[in-house]
Structure 1
Amino acid sequence: MEQTVEAALQDLLAELAENPVIIDYKTIEEQAKNHPKLSELAEAIKFQQKQAVKFAHYGKPVAEQEAIKQADELMREFEDHPLVVTYRQRLIEANDLLQYVTNLIEKEVNIALTLKFEDALTNYQSNEKE
Structure 2
Amino acid sequence: MKEQQKSRAPIYEGQVEKELQALLHQLENHDSIIAYQKIAKKIEAHEGLQELVEEIKQHQKEAVSFAHYDKPEAEKVALRLADEKQQAFDEHPLVIAYRERLVVANELLQYVTQLLEREVNLGLEARLEIGKEEQHASKN
Give the TM bin, normalised by the shorter chain: over 0.9
Matched, 1:76 2:92: no
Letter in 2 for 1:48: H
* Aligned-residue offset at 1:43: 0.8
Distance 2:94 2:51 in 1: 14
Distance 2:136 2:74 in 1: 78
Which one of the candidate residues 23, 35, 53 is aligned to 2:34? 23
Whether 2:25 is the aligned partner of 1:14: answer yes
**Structure with greater contact order relative to length (CA < 8 Å, sep ≥ 6):** 1
Give ranges in structure 2 of 5+ residues lacking alignment.
1-11
Q: In structure 1, which of residues 64, 89, 93 is the aligned counterpart of residue 100 of structure 2?
A: 89
State the Cα RMSD in Å: 1.1
User: Within 1, Cα distance between the matches of 2:37 and 2:47?
Assistant: 18
- The two structures have a TM-score, normalised by structure 1, of 0.93
Asked if 1:104 corresponds to 2:108, the answer is no
Deviates more, 1:120-129 or 1:88-97: 120-129
Q: CA deviation at 1:81?
A: 0.8
- TM-score, normalization by structure 2: 0.87
The offset of 1:68, in angstroms, is 0.7
Rounded Cα–Cα distance in structure 2 between residues aligned with 1:26 and 1:73: 27
* SS across alignment from 1:97: helix
Who is 2:56 aligned against? 45
Unpaired segments ≥5 residues, structure 1: none
Paired residues in the alignment total 129
**Letter of the structure 2 residue corresponding to residue 124 of structure 1:** Q
Q: Deviations over 1:82-112 (max 9, x none)?
A: 1111111111111100010011111111111
Is it true that 1:34 corresponds to 2:45 in the alignment? yes
